[in-house]
Structure 1
Amino acid sequence: MIVGTGIDFVAVSRISHWLDDDALCRRFFHPEELKVIRSRGAEAPRSLAARFAAKEAFAKALGTGFAGLTLK
């Protein structure tokens, strides 16, 4: 059995501007995820970065990257 692992770090400062780009956010997040992220107020950028890092780690663990994945 082959088990994949993935880890990822995302700098909040490099991703926080995504909150101002609805099209970009919709590419990676389900509308309900975005609602939760935006409800965090001042912590929204950290929430966005954490969720995106988790998705990237999952893609790395699969060994496929984002190719062929629906992230929503």
Structure 2
Amino acid sequence: MKKSIYILLFIFTLGITVTSCREEKSADEKVEEALEDVSEELDEASDDVKDAAEDLKDEIEEVKEENSDDN
């Protein structure tokens, strides 16, 4: 019976120490992470705009070619 109590006490103590060792982020780290996320999203958005502009340019060139072929 004593061994069972010691084993349960050991497991309980181990569980508490493992879960209480979680690292907390400071406010500065949270702000820095948020800024990095925004920066990445802006980079992706600018890439999307560049791709859309290139697609539009290609479409305009195709229309010009079609119009010049018709004449």
User: So what's the TM-score if we normalise by structure 2?
Assistant: 0.31
Structure with the higher helix share, 1 or 2:
2
Question: Higher relative contact order at CA 8 Å, sep ≥6: structure 1 or structure 2?
Answer: 1
